[in-house]
Amino acid sequence: MRRVLKPGGMLICAEPNNLAGTLVQSSLTDTQSLAQRVDDFRWELGFQLGKIAAGRGDISLGDKLAWLFQQVGFVEVRCYLSDKASPLIPPYAGAEQTANLALLQQMLSDAEQPYIEQEAEEYLHALACPEQARFTAEYLAQREAQRQMILQQLAEKRFWTGGASVTYLVSAQR
């Protein structure tokens, strides 16, 4: 990006920290034990570290973005947090709620599950951590039960989430 930006040009990027989303509360987390909440975080952290180890990118790069810009010679680096949340609250009315509901349903669809398991296997291999591999095998069964519970709550219009996320808005000048 720095190479193609003209001198004095401004770069603006938005990047998430997807790991933070694991800590967002919902109607599902309201009933989970401490151990289950910790397992959810461990799963996501292992998945993301494995993805990085496999060379498939960092989906929580937002935390590092300002530092990376500074490291490659950008100046006037500024970093902000987006304050936009995407809540999903029954009865899921309005355009934004409808879009959020469709996105969640796609993420939970039967078609996505084999893909996630295949990715997890690839990332675990790259991570080379036998302890995480054992944990993941057990966790995937729990994850399916959680997925079914969310789908049931959605069908009954009982699922809610505040939809908070961490997204960095970073600008820099060449």
User: DSSP per residue over 3-68, as a string?
Assistant: TTSPTT-EEEEEEEEGGGGGG--BTTGGG--HHHHHHHHHHHHHHHHHHHHTTS--TTTHHHHHHH
pLDDT at 98 over 90: yes
- Asked whether 24 and 164 are in contact (CB, 8 A), the reply is yes
DSSP 93-136: -SHHHHHHHHHHHHHTSTTHHHHHHHHHHHHHHHHT-HHHHHHH
pLDDT tens for 51-60 read 999 999 999 9
Return the higher-pLDDT residue of 143 and 99. Answer: 99
SS3 141: helix
pLDDT at 74 over 90: yes
Domain ranges of the chain: 10-173
Single-letter amino acid, residue 111: A
Q: Which of 40-44, 97-101, 169-173 has the highest mean pLDDT?
A: 169-173
Cα end-to-end span (Å), the chain: 10
CA distances from 90 to 36, 103, 156, 158 (A): 25, 15, 9, 6
pLDDT tens for 13-57 read 999 999 998 999 999 999 899 999 999 999 999 999 999 999 999
SS3 166: strand
Quickly count: other Cβ atoms within 10 Å of residue 99's Cβ.
Answer: 12
Q: Write down the pTM of the prediction.
A: 0.85
Output phi, psi for 168, to 5 deg: -90, 135
Quickly count: other Cβ atoms within 10 Å of residue 125's Cβ.
Answer: 13
